[in-house]
Structure 1
Amino acid sequence: MPVKKKRKSSGSDDSGFRKCKITSYCRNQATSRIINPEEQFSSKKCLSWFYEYAGPDEVVGPEGMEKFCEDIGVEPENIIMLVLAWKLEAPNMGFFTKEEWLKGMTLLQCDCTERLQGKLDFLRLQLNDGAAFKNIYRYAFDFARDKDQRSLDIDTAKSMLALLLGRTWPLFPVFHQFLEQSKYKVMNKDQWYNVLEFSRTVHPDLSNYDEDGACDVQRSATGI
């Protein structure tokens, strides 16, 4: 009898173990579905997320943007916000329209704060891709300028250049000082593009410095 009871108990344990494995498998499958953004992205949820920050005009403005940045844990002046705006194809600094939000967040497959936080590393990586960075840099000019002006005021240009090139261009401090001493008030689009080209072609030790080329860049940077 003790043996039979033991076998019965063992069989019960086996059954319980099998149930436990099945339950665990089902839970794992459910978890996999939850963390799979491709399957779980919801336009409805994304729209509700937008309205957490949108004002009465159905636009995320400065106040909503401040709360949005706080929620995702990114400072408003962080370059990641510029990359995000580029992904959303937002033309105006400090504003996201509903259409821009839905289109961009759908592309990123983000419908909530947590999913966007999970994409921050991906957004940072865009800055290390040469082609993507060039597009971000060019986008920044139109994004930052006053829309009734064709050029970028020099103070805004200096701030944006510091954001975009300050961390990677060894000669940026010298160039920034040059802009500080300049009497010119604006930088046009061609000049803006030429600064990036200069930063990519001239070596930090100026070993490939070309006087004619440097003059061209100086003319571009100052409007001479």
Structure 2
Amino acid sequence: MAQSKSSKAKSDEAITQFCGVTGASAKDARRFLEKYKRVELAIDAYFEDPNSVGTGMSAASTSKLNQLFDKYKEPGGEDITVDGTIKLCEDLNVNPEDVVLLSVAYELKSPRVGEWNKKGWLDGWRRLGCDTIESMQTSLVTLRDKLGSDPKYFQQVYNHTFDFARSEGQRSLATETAQAFWDLLIPHGLNGGALAHVSSKDGDDDVDMSEEGWKEEYTHWWFEFLNERGGKGVSKDTWAMFLEFVRSIDVKFERYDMEAAWPSTIDDFVQWAKARISSGAA
């Protein structure tokens, strides 16, 4: 019985992976997995079968994506690194510091800034239905809009950015680095609606258009506070909770619950911000 449960868990995991990459139904996933056994082979077969794609996603060519990957990867290496990333950005006609590249990093599961491995490259672009520079450029437009307007997607990209941005072997994110990525993400989310103010009334989190929340000015207050405070960097907990803080805090910081499980850095910032408002220095 234990073996049966283990096999079912592996089967369910394979179906989830197949559907995540291809956008196919669970029924189609089972059909291809039963025939090809291995997830990678089943996915390749799915995309190479012109009759299999029924979701509206274009079937991206593995061979075209391999050719593009080889064009940008480090000579003699296995991955695309900084030089290849710069060349890719030039071909895509996108600034290397454009916020949309954080979406691309999430979609392609980039391990760190300026690096892309082949599996992430193939799985990500195929899931997006792209196998040419032109189709990738079109996808960037869609991703930029989604990042700005979709709260759930914004959070997924935001969470990935912490691991993507920190130096290898480091548990925290350097304060200067964290500020650079906040400076990209927070304004984009505020302007697009992904960071629209929410209120927790009666236990429900709803967008509250009647109450003013976080302002772009407060992002710079946050940076000023962190620089004054000093410290070794930004922890993963602070990074993650800061997003919830931005979404939920009222404009005067009056309804902040000091007894809630906020990181001490955010507790201290609220006291700092309230003192600044009270002094009229805002």
Instruction: Name the TM tier (shorter chain).
Output: 0.7 to 0.9
Aligned positions, number: 186
Alignment of structure 1 residues 159-170 onto 2, 5 Å:
159-167=180-188, 168=190, 170=215
> Does the 8 A contact of 1:93 with 1:143 survive in 2?
yes
- Which of these residues, 125, 131, 143, is aligned with residue 111 of structure 1? 131
Structure 1 segments unaligned to the other structure (5+ residues):
1-35
Residue of structure 2 equivalent to 1:98: 118
Query: Structure 1 residues 74 and 215 mapped into 2: Cα distance closer, same or farther (>3 Å)?
Result: same
Query: 1 or 2 for the larger relative contact order (CA 8 Å, sep ≥6)?
Result: 1
Residue of structure 1 equivalent to 2:179: 158
- Which of these residues, 159, 178, 183, is aligned with residue 225 of structure 2? 178
Alignment-mate amino acid for residue 234 of structure 2: M
- Which of these residues, 241, 244, 256, is aligned with residue 197 of structure 1? 244
> Does the 8 A contact of 1:37 with 1:110 survive in 2?
no
Residue aligned with 1:197, SS: helix
Residue of structure 2 equivalent to 1:209: 255
Stretch deviating more after TM superposition (163-172 or 62-71)? 163-172
* Structure-2 separation of matches of 1:222 and 1:215: 13
Residue of structure 1 equivalent to 2:58: 38
> Does the 8 A contact of 2:73 with 2:84 survive in 1?
yes
Residue of structure 2 equivalent to 1:121: 141
Residue of structure 2 equivalent to 1:132: 153
TM-score (norm 1): 0.76
Query: Structure 1 residues 46 and 186 mapped into 2: Cα distance closer, same or farther (>3 Å)?
Result: same
* Structure-2 separation of matches of 1:139 and 1:212: 28
> Does the 8 A contact of 2:69 with 2:118 survive in 1?
yes
> Does the 8 A contact of 2:85 with 2:115 survive in 1?
yes
- Which of these residues, 66, 82, 85, is aligned with residue 47 of structure 1? 66
Query: 2:110 aligned with 1:86, yes or no?
Result: no
> Does the 8 A contact of 2:258 with 2:267 survive in 1?
no
Give CA-to-partner distance per residue, 1:62-94, whole Å, 9 cap, x none.
001000001001111111111101001112211
Give CA-to-partner distance per residue, 1:118-154, whole Å, 9 cap, x none.
1112111221101111111111111101120111111
Between Structure 1 and Structure 2, whose CA radius of gyration is higher? 1
Residue aligned with 1:186, SS: coil
Residue of structure 2 equivalent to 1:3: none
Q: Percent identity?
A: 32
Residue of structure 2 equivalent to 1:146: 167
Structure 2 segments unaligned to the other structure (5+ residues):
1-55, 191-213, 270-282
Alignment-mate amino acid for residue 63 of structure 2: K
TM-score (norm 2): 0.61
* Structure-1 separation of matches of 2:267 and 2:156: 20
